Amino acid sequence: MYNTPRPISLLLGFLLCVLAFYPLYGDLVFGSKASFFMSKLTTIVIFAILAMSLDLLVGITGLVSMGHALFFGLAGYVLALASPEYEAASIWYILPLVLLCCAALGAVVAFLTIKTSGIYFIMVTLAFGQMGFYFFNDAEFSGGSDGMYIMLKPDVSLGGIQLLNLDEKQTLYYLSLACMVFVYMVLRMILRSAFGQVLIGIHANEHRVKAIGYNTANYKIVSFVIAATLAGLAGFLAASQYGFVNPSQMGWHTSGYALMMVIMGGAGTIFGPAIGAFVFEILHYVFESFTDHWLMLMGAVMICVVLFLPNGIGGALLSLVQKKETTGEKNDG
């Protein structure tokens, strides 16, 4: 549960290389569409971050949130609202501000919802997500349902020298990729830490965790805040990429897609939801090229995943590897 088996690490490393070297082979494979696909990949990588952050709640702590996009969207609005009108915001203050706002709202939502569990937690988080959606949808200052433009992308410079230019597609691509790896590492670290052990216990049997002396509510709140902050990082990157933010980014559709990515990829495996994000978005792209009703096809895929891969792609990979390693000695009832 705590160590990624070697074959999986190798596979993840390989997939990461495929992504990292895209600029080298993109032109050869996709020709004139290479640049379009790089933007697409950036979007997917950002969704992978969102899905992994949601996995901390769904797969690790056992809290199924249907309002996770609230923080994804909020990050974009904070970026748009706090940026100066005619110059680029410096990333050194705007990024911490965005993350702080997401953490703060995460703490408020967690504090109000954490006493509920199961279906009630799903409904209450959904309600908070929709509250955010309608707040920004109806607010004059944030452009209503049209949303807001972020004319100038955050400026990454140190001592007057520009380090990264986020207007360049490739730079943003690599920045997102680096953030994805960073978030994965952070979540692995949390999982192995003393805090992570308690979360795993809460998922398995919260009553027992309380009985051996943990105030489980506090651990769940902190887990929620961390997940909200990481979702905020994804939202920050997304808003930087699109150059605008609108209410639909925090609506329940987005929360639902993130949840589907987690389920497809395998809740609780952390790397799984990242893979889930890729599979979901690639299928989305392919289905959309056939029909406007791509969600119908996606629904069919979801049903198949739930039926045939109940632990998602990540879970299936893990059991495949473990079967080979232990030749049936360990019984995972």
Binding site for another protein (CB under 8 A): 1-2, 189-190, 192-198, 200-201, 204-205, 207-216, 218-219, 222, 330-333
- Region for residue 83 given its phi and psi (left: phi exceeds 0; alpha: psi -120 to 50; beta: otherwise): beta
Q: Is 165 or 197 the residue whose CB approaches another protein more closely?
A: 197
Tokens representing residue 295 in the block: 């969600």
Helices 34-55 and 22-30, interaxial angle, to 10°?
Answer: 130
Considering the complex, what minimum distance in angstroms separates the CB of residue 263 from another protein?
19
In the complex with another protein, the residue whose CB is nearer, 147 or 266, is 266
**CB 69, CB 252: distance < 8 Å:** yes
- Min dist CB 217 to another protein, Å, is 9
Burial state string for 254-276 with b = 16 or more CB within 10 A and e = fewer than 16: bbbbbbbbbbbbbbbbbbbbbbb
Q: Which residue has the tokens 């096809």?
A: 297
**Of residues 145 and 205, the one with the C-beta less far from another protein:** 205
Q: Find tokens 């080979």 and name the residue.
A: 324
User: Cβ closer to another protein: 206 or 281?
Assistant: 206
The overall longest dimension of the chain from CA atoms, in Å, is 65
User: Which of 6, 1, 2 minimizes the C-alpha distance to 325?
Assistant: 6
DSSP bridge partners of 156: 164
Nearest approach, Cβ of 311 to another protein (angstroms)? 12
Helix (H) or strand (E) holding 149: strand 148-149
Q: Which is nearer to another protein, 193 or 291 (CB)?
A: 193
Q: How far is the CB of 187 from another protein (least distance, A)?
A: 11
232 or 247: CB nearest another protein: 232
- Minimum distance, C-beta of residue 179 to another protein, in the bound complex (Å): 18
Please state the closest distance from residue 274 (CB atom) to another protein, in A.
21
Report whether 287 contacts 94 (CB < 8 A).
no
Distance separating the N- and C-terminal Cα atoms of the chain: 14
